[in-house]
């Protein structure tokens, strides 16, 4: 049986609710609704916190102080920014494709939030522990390219169009090596189920068994989430802000939030797939270990982002197709041989 703290708490709530509600279905639905509310709170809340964290980390790397005016030590800065963005005028440019243009910022948030359902936060604490979990995650994340392309196409701006085209190109070039890198993990586990993948790392984390896959995944994840140094989609010194050049106020803020939600989700994926998920020494609950690992990965991604110059699009595509993909394929081969040798021993 599972022994994650959140799982146990949920069980307690379930038992407490059962006599009140009377029916098991209603209890399940209530728990589900609670969970969804929590998840959205987590995604938006973390985006707010990460905005501040990003700026503080960036300031630390750049020998600056960072925001320190709003609230104690600048902690309320992202809230103030949010309020400012909400109160801003919503400028609608001329000659746009209205439907696509309005839908794009709304849709951008869907894949970012949806994949949280497949993340195991603790032992037994997973929203939808489907048996094709990893496959579903990859399928959903690759959908995030569509809102970018929609926004870029609909904006009636050349900068936005270039940005939209770049998204597709980089998406194609990096989704393939990423999937092949994760093949190694799946081969070791023998399952696509997220909880099973974490379960399999009880003794040894996959970062030890799959170092190559780990590195490939890190690079590909940075690309997928448009983090620097791979942020060519927005590439602010070349194409202003790419697909969201023409967006203002709240619409722009949604793109912005999605970006930070993506940062969190790639950190969670790295933790789950390679760093043993909730596993850790006994003195802390699994939930806390999970949070610590995720935070470290967030910091690592930010550190990478703030130290490197941006890549050029052709270098980046060449790197994806001609370097990462062969390495990922070799990794699959090596893993296969490794498993065969291990079984034979």
Q: Under the rule (CB under 8 A), what is the footprint of other proteins? A: 58, 61-64, 158-159, 162, 228-229, 231-232, 235-240, 306-315
Closest distance to other proteins from the beta carbon of 310 (Å): 3
Closest distance to other proteins from the beta carbon of 194 (Å): 33
CA-based nearest residue to 122, from 3, 214, 38, 19:
3
- Could you tell me the sign of the dihedral formed by the alpha carbons of 78, 80, 83, 84, in that order? negative
Of 40 and 308, which has the nearer Cβ to other proteins? 308
Closest distance to other proteins from the beta carbon of 167 (Å): 13
Beta bridge partners of 122: 125
Of 105 and 228, which has the nearer Cβ to other proteins? 228
Give the list of residues 6+ apart from residue 289 with CB closer than 8 angstroms, or none.
278, 279, 280, 281
Query: How many distinct helices (H) and strands (E) make up the chain?
Result: 15, 0
Of 20 and 63, which has the nearer Cβ to other proteins? 63
Closest distance to other proteins from the beta carbon of 157 (Å): 10
Contact 242, 166 (CB under 8 A): yes
CA-based nearest residue to 123, from 18, 294, 265, 280:
280
Q: Measured between alpha carbons, how far is 74 from 52 in angstroms, rounded to an integer? A: 8
Of 65 and 333, which has the nearer Cβ to other proteins? 65
Q: Measured between alpha carbons, how far is 211 from 218 in angstroms, rounded to an integer? A: 11
Closest distance to other proteins from the beta carbon of 229 (Å): 6
Of 2 and 55, which has the nearer Cβ to other proteins? 55
For residue 320, give the DSSP letter.
I
């Amino acid at each position: 049986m599972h022994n994650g703290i959140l799982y146990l708490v949920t069980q307690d709530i379930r038992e407490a609710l059962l006599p009140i509600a009377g029916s098991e279905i209603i209890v399940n639905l209530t728990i589900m609704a609670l969970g969804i509310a929590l998840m959205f709170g987590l995604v938006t809340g973390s985006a707010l916190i990460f905005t501040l964290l990003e700026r503080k980390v960036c300031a630390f790397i750049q020998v600056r102080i960072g925001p320190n005016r709003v609230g104690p030590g600048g902690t309320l800065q992202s809230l103030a920014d949010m309020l400012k963005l909400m109160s801003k005028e919503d400028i609608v440019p001329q000659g746009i494709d209205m439907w696509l243009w309005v839908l794009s910022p709304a849709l951008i948030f869907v894949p970012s939030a949806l994949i949280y359902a497949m993340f195991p936060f603790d032992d037994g604490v997973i929203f939808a522990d489907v048996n094709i979990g990893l496959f579903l995650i990859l399928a959903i994340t690759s959908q995030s390219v569509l809102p970018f392309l929609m926004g870029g196409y609909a904006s009636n701006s050349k900068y936005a169009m270039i940005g939209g085209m770049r998204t597709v190109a980089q998406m194609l070039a990096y989704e393939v090596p990423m999937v092949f890198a994760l093949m190694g993990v799946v081969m070791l586990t023998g399952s696509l189920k997220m909880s099973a993948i974490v379960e399999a790392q009880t003794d040894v984390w996959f970062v030890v068994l799959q170092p190559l896959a780990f590195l490939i995944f890190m690079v590909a994840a940075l690309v997928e989430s448009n983090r620097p140094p791979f942020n060519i989609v927005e590439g602010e010194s070349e194409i202003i802000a790419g697909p969201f050049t023409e967006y203002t106020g709240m619409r722009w803020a949604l793109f912005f939030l999605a970006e930070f939600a993506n940062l969190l989700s790639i950190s969670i994926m790295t933790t789950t797939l390679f760093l043993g998920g909730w596993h850790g020494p006994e003195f802390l609950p699994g939930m806390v270990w999970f949070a610590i690992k995720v935070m470290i990965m967030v910091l690592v991604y930010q550190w990478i982002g703030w130290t490197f110059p941006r890549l050029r699009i052709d270098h980046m595509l060449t790197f994806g197709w001609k370097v990462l993909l062969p390495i990922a394929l070799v990794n699959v081969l090596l893993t296969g041989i490794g498993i065969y040798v291990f079984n034979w021993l």
